[in-house]
């Protein structure tokens, strides 16, 4: 389907070319069946642009194109629509349930269809106007009907690799291809590295993604504990299970009732096989995904890739729960040399965890067996044990808890690192059942919130305790020696604070989650994830002003923020990517129609109680989807 806005008052250019200027925003009701008209909505002054790149496929041209053209800001809204600026159009490309193969078109097999709860997005170019779109699917709705709901959910979550093509008019569509594939809870996988050497099944709760310099996809497994539970009253959880949030009642998924693999009391259960970063070559559809254990086991919020000056791979990842940590893996040797020797760059290296000081200083603490408290005398067996129990190892060395750390982005020119903190208390999501003693010094860092830059943007949450306060914030730092590789240090500051009084109505935001740079570093794209119970909260001036979740663009130099796209009711904006030529953005809309305080909550009998996006009034249920945004 297609929706078209009016002409852009600032002239022509690629969508990959930014924002800045007053104009009239257009709103778009996206439907999966047919085009609908755009209605005019108010707009305000702004500035923006897109694309993150550290040498991944398609990073160059897209990033430069996505960096400079002006657009008018979209006004905050609570409408059940996707809205983009005047002069742009938004179209549904890949929604939950769309067939990936001809055989799936007449059937119901979810494993041959696009998954649900779209999160990460990466575009891998194949030829002009053609490419592979890799999407992760973090979960499935809790309102799936019938006794087979658990099985359907296992197939709906996971990963989609779909061929896409652009027609002569610029519109994108899914295409049949030998590359099309799904990863689900049943996909065979291989585990490699210090805690590997075995095979397993399933990629669970995948969140954000990354692209390696050699062109593979990294997939961050997040809340895999949600899949597990047990009805066995005799099951007792030990320290590691408690620290990772495993519980008999699970989190509503009840997969253990359908598959003994997810029953915590069953000998078939393999919870240690989940919580890793998985590597996938999207151009090798027959190859098994590989879980890279050297990068640590926790509930990964991202897998952001860069490299050191001497060519060693660096992967930043967060543990995406309140009170958890920021990690960095640094390869043992230049990745090109390792690959020439037939060795994998992600299997050899050192994993570090961050400690943030209260005066703007930071340190990277190695999680290496035999160093500091990680010794046999303290109950650690070897490096595999450290990686399997990464959370406890980070506790032991004294890492700094953060307020829901989510996505990391690296400025492609300056090397500065940006971290999104959704906001919270930094007291710990799964920490209550385990002692976090630290390294014996009692020093786990004061946390971002009291150091330099904590008052940068003196608005709400700017200095509200460790990590991010009520409305979240974005931290920024520069690594010592341009990420030279060793433990080293960094100097951090607060780049932006959600709810800051200095933000204009064109750029007010809360709960920043996803971050994405254009390859030239002109603009930082910010996706927000305000939870349903705060969306359109009339009792809170910040949430009321922010409206629905949004995609905004920030100038890294000035900090000016502009709203580019708004989501339907109940939805988050998650992953963002761009076509190689920069003329198209791929934007994920996750869980439209999720339970909210403002509009109620969906049920199996009425799944459209909050939203009917993207199908409109004829919808049987709302669906997560990837939309393309390009110039009209």
The CATH number for 576's domain is 2.120.10.30
Torsion of the alpha carbons at 299, 398, 195 and 160, rounded to the nearest 10: 20
- In this prediction, residues 402-407 reach a mean pLDDT of 97
542/552 Cα distance (integer angstroms): 16
The whole-number pLDDT of residue 12 equals 34
**For 572-588, how does the pLDDT look when each residue is reduced to its tens digit (9 = 90+)?**
999 999 998 888 999 99
Sign of dihedral through CA atoms 323, 271, 120, 624? negative
| CB count in 10 Å sphere of residue 177 | 18
Tell me the pLDDT of the chain averaged across its residues.
84
Is 302 part of a structural domain of the chain? yes
Let me know if residue 236 belongs to a domain: no
Overall number of domains in the chain: 1
Q: In this structure, is the dihedral angle defined by the CA atoms of residues 563, 569, 573 and 578, taken in order, positive or negative? A: negative
Radius of gyration of the chain (CA): 23
Give the pLDDT band (50/70/90) at residue 468. low
Task: Decide which of 532 and 483 is more confident.
Answer: 532
Helical spans, DSSP H, in 290-426 = 335-340, 383-388, 390-397
Residue 385 has pLDDT above 90, yes or no: yes
What pLDDT, on a 0 to 100 scale, did the predictor assign at position 133? 99
In a domain, 77, yes or no: yes
Is 230 within the bounds of a domain? Answer: no
What is the longest distance spanned by two Cα atoms in the chain?
A: 69
Do 70 and 18 form a contact (C-beta atoms < 8 A)?
yes
Query: Considering only 106-120, 226-240, 611-625, which range has the smallest mean pLDDT?
Result: 106-120
Structural domain contains residue 558: yes
Residues 386 and 350 sit within 8 Å (Cβ to Cβ): no
Q: How far apart are CA 550 and CA 387, in angstroms?
A: 36
Q: How far apart are alpha carbons 569 and 549 in whole angstroms?
A: 8
455 against 203, higher pLDDT: 203
3-class SS at 266? Answer: coil
Examine the pLDDT at 22 and tell me if it is beyond 50. no
Q: How far apart are the first and last CA of the chain?
A: 13
User: What's the whole-number mean pLDDT along residues 519-544?
Assistant: 93
Identify which of 275, 208, 585, 140 has the alpha carbon closest to the alpha carbon of residue 422: 208
Alpha carbons 594 and 141: distance in angstroms, whole number: 8
User: Which residues are within 8 A (CB) of 197 and not within 5 positions of it... i.e. 6 or more apart?
Assistant: 191
Distances (CA, A) of 474 to 391, 456, 506, 509, 576: 23, 11, 18, 11, 17
Q: Which of 300-314, 383-397, 421-435 has the lowest mean pLDDT?
A: 421-435
What is the pLDDT, as a whole number, of residue 427? 66
* Range from 50-64, 139-153, 345-359, 599-613 carrying the lowest mean pLDDT: 50-64
Distance (Å) of CA 95 to CA 162, 217, 608? 12, 21, 16
CB 187 within 8 A of CB 157: no
244 is a domain residue = no
Q: What is the pLDDT of residue 254?
A: 81
Residue 540: CB atoms within 10 Å: 16
d(CA 467, CA 326): 11
Taking residue 541's Cβ as centre, other Cβ atoms within 10 Å add up to 12
Lowest-confidence region among 96-105, 346-355, 464-473? 464-473
Q: Are 208 and 159 in contact (CB under 8 A)?
A: no
Q: Which of 562, 495, 575 is nearest to 527 (CA)?
A: 575
Q: Is position 241 within any domain?
A: no
Q: Does residue 529 carry a pLDDT above 90?
A: yes
- C-beta separation of 186 from 201 below 8 A: yes
The boundaries of the domain holding residue 35 are: 15-222+275-426+453-631
The predicted structure's pLDDT at residue 105: 56
In the chain, the percentage of residues whose pLDDT exceeds 90 is 73
237 within domain boundaries: no
Mean pLDDT, residues 425-447 taken together: 50
d(CA 534, CA 524): 25
**Distance from C-alpha of 180 to C-alpha of 163, rounded to nearest angstrom:** 6
């Amino acid at each position: 389907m297609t929706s078209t806005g009016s002409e852009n008052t600032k002239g022509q250019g690629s969508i990959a070319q930014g924002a800045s200027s007053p104009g009239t925003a257009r709103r778009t009701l996206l439907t999966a069946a047919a085009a609908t008209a755009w209605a005019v909505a108010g707009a305000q002054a702004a500035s923006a642009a897109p694309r993150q790149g550290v040498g991944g496929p398609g990073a160059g041209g897209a990033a430069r194109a996505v960096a400079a053209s002006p657009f008018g800001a979209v006004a905050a809204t609570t409408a059940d629509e996707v809205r983009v600026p005047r002069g742009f159009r938004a179209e549904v490309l890949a929604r939950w349930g769309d067939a990936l193969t001809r055989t799936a078109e007449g059937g119901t097999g979810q494993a041959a269809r696009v998954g649900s709860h779209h999160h990460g997005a990466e575009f891998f170019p194949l030829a002009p106007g053609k490419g592979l779109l890799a999407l992760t699917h973090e979960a499935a709705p809790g309102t799936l009907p019938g006794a087979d709901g658990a099985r359907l959910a296992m197939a709906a979550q996971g990963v989609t690799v779909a061929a896409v093509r652009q027609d002569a008019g610029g519109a994108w569509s899914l295409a049949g291809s030998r590359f099309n594939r799904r990863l689900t809870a049943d996909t065979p996988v291989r585990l490699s590295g210090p805690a590997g050497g075995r095979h397993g099944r399933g990629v669970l709760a995948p969140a954000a993604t990354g692209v390696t310099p050699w062109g593979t996809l990294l997939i961050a497994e997040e809340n895999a504990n949600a899949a597990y539970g047990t009805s066995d009253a005799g099951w007792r959880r030990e320290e590691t299970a408690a620290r990772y949030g495993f519980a008999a009642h699970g989190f509503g998924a009840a997969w253990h009732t359908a598959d003994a693999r997810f029953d915590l009391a069953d000998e078939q259960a393999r919870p240690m096989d989940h919580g890793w970063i998985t590597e996938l070559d999207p151009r090798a559809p027959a190859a098994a995904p590989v879980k890279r254990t050297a990068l640590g086991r926790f509930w990964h919020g991202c897998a952001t890739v860069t490299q050191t000056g001497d060519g060693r791979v660096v992967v930043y990842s967060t543990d995406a729960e309140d009170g958890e940590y920021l990690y960095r893996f640094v390869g043992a040797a230049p990745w090109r040399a390792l690959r020439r020797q037939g060795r994998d760059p992600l299997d050899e290296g050192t994993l570090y965890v961050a400690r943030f000081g209260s005066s703007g200083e930071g340190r990277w603490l190695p999680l290496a067996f035999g160093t500091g408290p990680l010794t046999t005398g303290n109950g650690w067996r070897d490096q595999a044990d450290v990686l399997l129990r990464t959370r406890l190892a980070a506790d032991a060395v004294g890492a700094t808890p953060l307020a829901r750390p989510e996505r990391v982005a690296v400025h492609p020119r300056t090397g500065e690192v940006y971290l999104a903190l959704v906001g919270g208390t930094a007291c710990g999501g799964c920490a209550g059942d385990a002692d976090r003693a630290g390294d014996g010094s009692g020093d786990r860092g004061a946390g971002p919130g009291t150091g330099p830059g904590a008052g940068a943007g003196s608005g709400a949450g700017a200095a509200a305790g460790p990590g991010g306060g009520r409305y979240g914030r974005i931290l920024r730092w520069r690594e010592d020696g341009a990420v030279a590789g060793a433990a080293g240090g960094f100097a951090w500051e607060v780049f932006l604070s959600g709810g800051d009084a200095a933000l204009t109505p064109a750029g007010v935001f809360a709960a920043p989650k996803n971050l994405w740079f254009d390859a030239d570093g002109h603009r930082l794209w910010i996706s927000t994830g305000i939870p349903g119970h705060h969306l359109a909260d009339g009792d809170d001036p910040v949430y009321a002003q922010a409206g629905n979740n949004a995609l905004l663009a920030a100038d890294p130099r000035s900090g000016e923020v502009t709203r580019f796209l708004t989501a339907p009711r109940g939805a988050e904006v998650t992953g963002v990517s761009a076509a190689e030529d920069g003329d198209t953005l791929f934007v994920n809309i996750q869980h439209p129609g999720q339970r909210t305080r403002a509009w109620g909550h969906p049920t199996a009998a009425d799944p459209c109680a909050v939203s009917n996006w993207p199908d409109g009034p004829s919808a049987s249920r709302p669906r997560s989807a990837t939309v393309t945004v390009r110039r009209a």
